[in-house]
Structure 1
Amino acid sequence: METYLKLKFLNSNGKSSFIRISNPKKDLTTDTVGTAMELICSTKAFEKGDTDMYEKALGAKYVTTTENVIFDNKQ
C-alpha cells in the first residue's frame, strides 16, 4: 500500500495542475499544507512556456493506493 499527498493548483491558463509528494508526513494540518502551497504559488518558480503552473492553491488530499495482483508469471 502506498500513500502520497496530491496538491491541486490552478495554472494561469485556468487549468488544473498537480504536485504528487511520495511518503508525506502523516497527519499534516490544513495550515501547514496551505502555507506550503501558498509559498509554492508565490515563488512563481514553475513555468511551462508562458504558463505559471501553480498560480492558485486549490486543495490537497492524501491518496492511498492498493495493488491486488491477479496474475504474476515470474520465471
Structure 2
Amino acid sequence: MGGKVQSSVSKKTTLLIIGRSNLDLFEQDPRSLKLKNAEELQKKGVPLKKLSEEDFITLAINQLQSKLNKS
C-alpha cells in the first residue's frame, strides 16, 4: 500500500483520507483546511482522490488479507 502522512495537501498529494468529524462542533463549514485545499486542487485538474476513513480501513484490510492469502 504505501504512503506517508503530510501536514498539508499539495499537487503531489494523490490520496486524502477524510476522518469523521463531529459536525455539531462547527458553526459554519465543517470541512478541514486540507479538504478545502484538496477540492481546490481537484478543480485545477490535480488527480487527487478523497477517501473516507472507513473506506480506507476497509481497503487496507482487504489488501492485507489478499497478501496473507497469497502466502
Normalised by the length of structure 1, the TM-score is 0.30
Higher strand proportion (structure 1 or 2): 1
Rg larger in structure: 1
Higher helix proportion (structure 1 or 2): 2
